[in-house]
Chains A and B, each alone.
Chain A
Amino acid sequence: AQSVTQLGSHVSVSEGALVLLRCNYSSSVPPYLFWYVQYPNQGLQLLLKYTSAATLVKGINGFEAEFKKSETSFHLTKPSAHMSDAAEYFCAVIMDTGRRALTFGSGTRLQVQP
C-alpha cells in the first residue's frame, strides 16, 4: 500500500536558519509526491510536486524538495526560514495505479523562533 512517513511532528528553527522537513515514501512503483502547507485556520495550499520530470523541484515561497529514489525520500528544504513560514506541512502521495487518491502523511508543525 502507498504511504508517506513524516519524521518529526514538530520542528523548531531560528529565523534565517535552514529548514529541513523529512518525508519518506513506501512504494514499489514510481509515486507522485507533493508537499502542502496549512497556515493556522486555513485550507491546504500546494507548495510543490514531483511528477518525474526532474528530481529537484522548486516550489513557492522559496521551498524546494529533492526526490531520491535510492533513499525513498522527498525532503522539503528552505535555505533561510522566515517567521511567516510557521505552519503545518504535509507530505502526500498519489500512486499511478489503483485508486489514485491523494494520501497524506501525519504532518510536521514548523515553528520559527525570532
Chain B
Amino acid sequence: DTAVSQTPKYLVTQMGNDKSIKCEQNLGHDTMYWYKQDSKKFLKIMFSYNNKELIINETVPNRFSPKSPDKAHLNLHINSLELGDSAVYFCASSHERDPYYGYTFGSGTRLTVV
C-alpha cells in the first residue's frame, strides 16, 4: 500500500488552463505539505495544513490554492497556468507533534506547461 499517493504522476497542459493535483496519505498523519522542485532540483515548501487548517503559506502566487477536505487529503489547484509553473510537485505528510521523525513524501507530479 502506498503511504502518500499523488495523482496524476505526469501532467502536460497548455498555458492558461486550470489543473488540480491530488494527494492522499494513509499513515494517520495530521499534517500535510506541498513542495515544489524546480529544474535545478531545489525544493521549496509551498503550503502546509494541520487537521485541515492552513499553517504555512509561503510567498506563492494566489493562482495556487490548496484545499484539504480532511486530514488525509491535500489537493493543489492551479489557475491560469504559466510556463514558469513547470516543475515537480511533491506532497508530504508528518505528525504535527513529531515532525522530527521526518516527512513521508509522495512520488511527485511532474507538471509541464506548454
Chain A residues in contact with chain B, CB under 8 A?
32, 34, 36, 38, 42-46, 49, 51, 88, 90, 94, 99-104, 106-107, 109
Q: What are 6 of the A-B contact pairs (CB < 8 Å)?
A: A32-B100, A45-B105, A46-B104, A94-B99, A99-B56, A102-B103
Question: Main SS of the interface on chain A?
Answer: strand
A102 near B108 (CB under 8 angstroms)? Answer: no
A49 near B102 (CB under 8 angstroms)? Answer: yes
Task: Return the chain B residue nearest A38 by Cβ.
Answer: B41
Docked pose: A36 CA to B108 CA in angstroms: 15
Q: Which residues of A contact B106 (CB under 8 A)?
A: 43
Q: Is there a chain A Cβ closer than 8 Å to B48's Cβ?
A: yes
A90 near B100 (CB under 8 angstroms)? Answer: no
Task: Return the chain B residue nearest A106 by Cβ.
Answer: B42
